[in-house]
Chains A and B, each alone.
Chain A
Amino acid sequence: MRPEMTAASLDTAARTSAERGALARARLLRGLLPALSLALVLLAIAWLNPRAISYFGFSLMLNLAIPIALATIAQMFVIAGNELDLSIGTFVGFVGCVTATWLKDAPLIGAVILLGSIGVYALLGALIHLRNLPSIVVTLGMSFVWQGLAILVLPKPGGKAPDWLLGLMAFKPPFIPFPIIAALLIGLIVHFGLMRTSYGVILRGSGGNPAALGRAGWSLLKTKIVLFALAGLFGVLSGMALIGITTSADANIGNGYTLLAIAGVILGGGEFVGGRVSPIGAVIGALTLALAASPLLTFMHIPPDWQVAANGAILIIVLAARVLISRKER
């Protein structure tokens, strides 16, 4: 009886190790998917217009990639905690309006306002946790608040970015366009913080299994506050970067970023529940969307009417590919 059982269990062990290999391959493929989709979009662009693949072409196409990537990272922190921020777009617009007015004319007051708005984000995290509120509705309400404040700060489009910010965003490093370097830097810094530090694991765990984390003695209130404050911080950076590029502001300037940011996180391999997010993936997702929405598409026989659809189509194609891979993973 005994040897037989051992043989059987050895057999299962062998099979599971083979299965584990397949599983690892599928997981690797899944991890590479965001990069593959970016490569695919790049190939399509190179095929349609070879001249776009140049220092100048990338600087132009990825013009708005930095603010989109920062807003996507902001959304990623919120999604890591199983919540959703529907106000990040109008928040970016509000920050933009403050940057183009207060931060230029009275830098100290401007900085205090921006820090205060990060504080508001932290408070929202606390409110959502303490009252067990649906984040979708709270941030929906906040999207009105930020938009209203933006209009109060800057009733008409205008204002001007501070000179140091203009100088920073106009930086032209040799060989590699600035947006690519910046995106890489953002991705790596957040990757280190969220994926490689012990508190980063706790933060992701608060989305993965909040009950277990709470029983292990970690404060879920604190993790939610930290996640929302980080979202606020990256929202502020996104708004400032945006104004550094556009040079002036408008109360509606960030409105499209809410949906772009959610799409970027999902394209980058993030999931809505379970704390499964990827900072580098999110940045790649943001780059893919920035390319898909870039003004260069106009020159590529894609009429402007259909540029929004291009974003939707890319999302659907990538998600379809992910389903095919996940089926293997099972």
Chain B
Amino acid sequence: MSSLSSLIRNENMKIYRRPRTWLMIAFLILSIALMSGIMKWDSSQNHSRDWQNDLTERNASMQQELQENKELSEEDITYFTNEIMLNEYYLEQDINPDELSLWNYVSTSSSLIMLATILTVIIAADMIAAEFTWGTIKLLLVGPASRTKIMISKYIATLGFALLLLILTFASAYAAGGILEGFDGTSQAMLSITDDGVIQESSYFLNSLEKYGFSVISMLMYVTMAFMISSAFRSSSMAIAFSLLFMLVGNTLSALLSGYSWVKYLLFSNIDLTQYMNGATPLRPEMTLTFSIMILVAYYIVFQFVAWLLFTRRDVAA
């Protein structure tokens, strides 16, 4: 009987021995390099002037706005006051807020997790369907490993690939930031203002992790969906095409249909949890964080169950 760990090693071999996988990884790293390059170029265009003078001017104009504009909302007032307070703190401590630190690169790289997600979705969609396309499914299944075990090993290998891409994204953004801005920014603290109006120093690292965390949740959902599609279709090109289609069209679709209340039950309406974070408004007013988490968990279970059912119960005849 096969052990799960050796089955996972087999699946890993099938992922990493394919040149395609390394092209994907190269593409991801290249994209991060490109993003970092553009960020650097952009900032070098902007802050050639005297930043202290800049901040002072900005503060003055905000102050003026606060005093003269009587139609400002409560939110705007808090925002302006906080900004002014922060800027004064920057001037006091001699910190240039517009100067990029390595953490800006890491933080921005979290938007490239979308790319990592697309790449992992391609791998996931291929995971089961490709065995059918290659005709190797028969030899794979005729062995001392139950179908459930084979499926679990494939799913774990897929998650492993996702994790690798995440680590690579983080590491290459960190490296790019370090190379372009110096690694001495690593210990720099992130400044923000709490609700009580106190300036607070927090860790950039934790902030980046948080940004990554939200993207990872949507990544996990998309990848699990692709995995289910993979066990439904017996052709890898179909599986990849459908997975990418759902992923790319889904968000637009739920935004378009947000007028209807049933939209809140769609996967795509709940997949982005940042809609509940400070300041953002959820897709529909009645949606809450708990509600979305419950919907996501339900979808996750359904995806896994359907995938398992399709993979273990069907005859392999062709």
Q: Are A and B co-members of a single complex?
A: no
Chain A interface residues (CB < 8 Å from chain B): none
